[in-house]
Amino acid sequence: MIKYLFKRDTILASIMVFIVMGLLALIPINTHVLDPIKMALQDFDYNDLAYSQFNKNSHTSVDTNIVIVNIGAAGRNEIAGMIKKAAAENPRVVGVDILFNAPKDSATDAELEDLFYTNPKIVMAYNLVADKGIISTPGFLVEKSRQKGYANFVGEEGGSIRHFSPILKKETTVYNSFAAAVTQVAYPQQFKQMLKRDKKTEQVNYTRTADQFIVIDGLNFLENGDTGISLVDKVVLLGYISPDPNSIEDKHFTPFNKKSVGKTVPDMEGIFIHANIITMIRDADYVKKSPVWINWLIASLLCWFHMSLFIRYFIDKHLWFHLVAKIAQLVSAVLFVYLGLLFYYKWDIKINLTPSFVAIILAVDVLYFYEAISAWLHKRFGVYSIFIHSHH
């Protein structure tokens, strides 16, 4: 392998791999149209395995700063009562993760309107609809509420929720996400810190499953008051948690889902995803992404080493070339996934190894192409090449 590492042809063939990758990226069509594996894995991220298979963050302690009030089957009247009661206990903020789509009962609607309008500690969730660049915010209480945030996550429709958009700027209007709006009220410093990052999207750092949050029953809280849990100085979130594990109401796919690929049922309620995002912003515990130049540097180095190995077998032991190439690709894939997951599991660092994978996979085919070009250049211009002078 070392024998060919610093040969001009090894370096040029490696460069050619990246040229081919660039050319493929220029094709404005999705070539995976008839590839069932690619289509099945469209919404797959290797890092999900860190949660679903290797129980990342399973030892994180219960978050005692967030209390989730399960509204269950409560109607608007009871929900208004819960908000009022929670707000009276002097929490940092009360986040209401419920969409009130249309007016229903004038007395209760007026009460809700009054709560959202007068109390700056109550944050209302709403649905943000983005259609061809035009943003609308349906819901009859949205305009009237003082603190509000969109409850939308970022991801394929019905796909796994890995990202959220902290804020959305449209001309002069700034829309806060629900988690950002809650944090703005509860932890203004951390909110500013998040704004400074100036990221269009943030990856959700799932530090806790549903069991690692405190949940109280809303109707019990409303009727009996004393749930044994103080809400003073807490982030109180009102949302829906179904008692039926098979219910899909406000449930989403997350990396915690034990089945990463294929047909399965959603695993986490929206309120817990918001809670994870709030925790992440509060603790400034963001997922760190490796810079693009590092990803490409890793890809270049790995491609170069592999190319050197492939050329060695291509020229010196051609009989074994394909077998060695396939084994090398397989071993590399296993090793890279392991290393990528390790960084994510231990240090929340996400390294994009896709360029490395693609480069190594393309290297074998490009090698044949490069050999043909070398032969032509040699014949035409007499250019020296190891492929011409070492006969395999």
Partner 1 sequence: MKLLFSILLLGIFQLSFGNDISFVVYHSKGSVVKTFSQVNLKKGDPLFLKDAISLGTGSSLILICSNYKIIQLSKKGNYTIKSLMGQCDKNPASYSSSYFKYVWDELTHPHDKPEMNPEAYMKNIGAVSRGCNESAIGIKADTINYCSGSLPVFWWSSYKNSYAVVYEQLLDGAPVKKLLLIKEKPVQLHELFKALVPGEYYWQIAGDEGSGCERNYLKIWDKPSYNKAIKLLLKEVPVSSAAETAYARAFLLEENHFLAEALQYYQQAAQLNPSNIIYKKSLAKFYETNF
- Asked if 44 and 257 touch (Cβ cutoff 8 Å), the reply is no
Q: Does 37 bind partner 1 (CB under 8 A)?
A: no
Among 201, 230, 264, 354, binds partner 1 (CB under 8 A): 201
264 by DSSP, 3-state: which?
A: coil
- Nearest residue to 178 via CA among 233, 104, 99: 99
Query: Given the complex with partner 1, which of 167 and 315 has the nearer CB atom?
Result: 167
What is the Cα–Cα distance from 351 to 345, expressed in whole angstroms?
A: 11
Q: Does 85 bind partner 1 (CB under 8 A)?
A: no
For 163, other C-beta atoms within 10 Å of its C-beta total: 15
Interface positions, 208-247, toward partner 1 (CB under 8 A): 239-240
Among 4, 153, 213, 305, binds partner 1 (CB under 8 A): 153
Q: In Å, how far from its chain's centre is CA 179?
A: 15
- Asked if 253 and 263 touch (Cβ cutoff 8 Å), the reply is no
Among 13, 66, 71, 180, binds partner 1 (CB under 8 A): 71
Give least dist CB 336 to partner 1, A. Answer: 20
Q: Does 105 bind partner 1 (CB under 8 A)?
A: yes
E strands present in 316-387: 349-350
Q: Does 114 bind partner 1 (CB under 8 A)?
A: no
Q: In Å, how far from its chain's centre is CA 196?
A: 20
Query: Given the complex with partner 1, which of 138 and 188 has the nearer CB atom?
Result: 138
Q: Does 271 bind partner 1 (CB under 8 A)?
A: yes
Q: Does 99 bind partner 1 (CB under 8 A)?
A: yes
Q: Does 173 bind partner 1 (CB under 8 A)?
A: no
Torsion of CA 122, 123, 125, 130, to 10 degrees: 150
What is the Cα–Cα distance from 274 to 208, expressed in whole angstroms?
A: 11
What is the Cα–Cα distance from 281 to 95, expressed in whole angstroms?
A: 15
Give least dist CB 105 to partner 1, A. Answer: 7
Q: Does 370 bind partner 1 (CB under 8 A)?
A: no
Q: Which residue ranges make up the site for partner 1 (CB under 8 A)?
A: 28-31, 33-34, 71, 75-76, 79, 97-106, 109, 125, 127-130, 133, 137-140, 142-143, 150-159, 161-163, 165, 168, 178, 200-201, 239-240, 249-250, 252, 270-271, 273-274
